[in-house]
Structure 1
């Protein structure tokens, strides 16, 4: 088993010179993209007034904080961590990394469940659970529980001095010496697996519902070609398809980009310590950082209200630019 001195020597070794700027740049782009998403959502009344959009906002906040960790906290910690002059910052960086990663997984699941319940609930349905899942109170409680879990997980690891330099080259959890702490850490893996399972289940049910609904609408269209009810169903199905596309991308891309880290990191207690050299772990970490950078653009370019507002603001910005250019040329 590798001792801590060997891990620290490799962690702050030669690979840090190329890893640090690349990782920092990706995380900075994550901050900018998610900042744009949050800004659009919070400054657009028609978006922030829809309670289900707060799952999207929470997802953006989670990825924004992860980008802040990678571009600011870890960047400073890399500078002073090698000589042990900022142990508290190193632990804070590890806690930020774990909590923001874990929280990002569940929000696509919450979004697809919310959409399924919303479109399949009939008028006058008195089911208390269904009403709770789509209510503002329910969304607040569910999101709060997700954040509480990741904060508790990070706090337990912090109490037992388990946060810091990860063998994969980022600030996360230290090399585990206690199997029980490793099991606590692995509740995060079970949390992610449960989230993926629930996403697959409700995505499949939503897909079947949409297919059935489209067939029903198409059958009625010759009779009710201009009916408001049919147009309303078309709009609802368009929004549902957009949600499904977003959930698919937000679920499959992490499996491709981040799956290697999950498998190796999750099995670290049983796998050889030297399975991957430090440069290999850092390549996995760079792939891991791509998803928080892409996530806000997936949301902005697939979800109807966000996409329309982004286009509107882009058009306004272009018109202002053209107006300023025209005035300057006249002067």
Structure 2
């Protein structure tokens, strides 16, 4: 079986590829998006470097936290097997929020959404580094999952701001940066956990957020591209709840069993809600997301790999062994 780190490296590549394929190669000709055509090379590559830096957050946080799971279990001994929710919840929230972020960025601005995501990520990491309460720990992990979904905005910024000839290069650098971050995350996370215990992982991630988020605000201009559309709260609820139910099914089916009524209720409920979402969206003049993308074979393959590689791999990992004599955590 592949390690969680290997799975995360692979799935993060597919995730970034999905984001890059989920919109046109570039905005239509004749639309002013604020492209940096006349800017200096320093200006262009500074913006590119900061965006690539922040997109590395996706594999970085997942793998570093995965490397700390055994120590996290010792810090919260009462939760026992439920410690895996520290990883599962981030995936659930990120998967549910990702399809919505594109619409939000079109309305409020891509740079603003990316900065807001970095802020939420930093706050979530700080809380996790300090808290002794399991419920608050999970809420903060949810904030981090929400911030990961805002990486969708980074793809849009690259396509709106980079000179057209640099767009393919920028996309390649984004994928390469994510792979590099994933490769370094396992080593860095293991070192921090062994040397300083698990809160050090969240302190490191918080520092990462403190550095990268202001850089986005200072060095990355806002895209001028806006799409006027109304966000329907009912559609958001259908997509979010349906996605969460299906991913919960994939995560818990190995623990609960294939034929338990609760398991089937999650799957059937999630599929029905998602089917209703597709039905409603197909009749909207301004849909929340482009449903045509979901019919492309490449998109179907990428989505299936992400669904099975991330959530189900977490639940198949055995529960970390918890020593009764292990300290709760370092102060």
Tell me the TM-score normalized by structure 2: 0.29
Larger Rg: 1
Tell me the TM-score normalized by structure 1: 0.29
Q: Which has the higher contact order (CA 8 A, sep 6+)?
A: 2
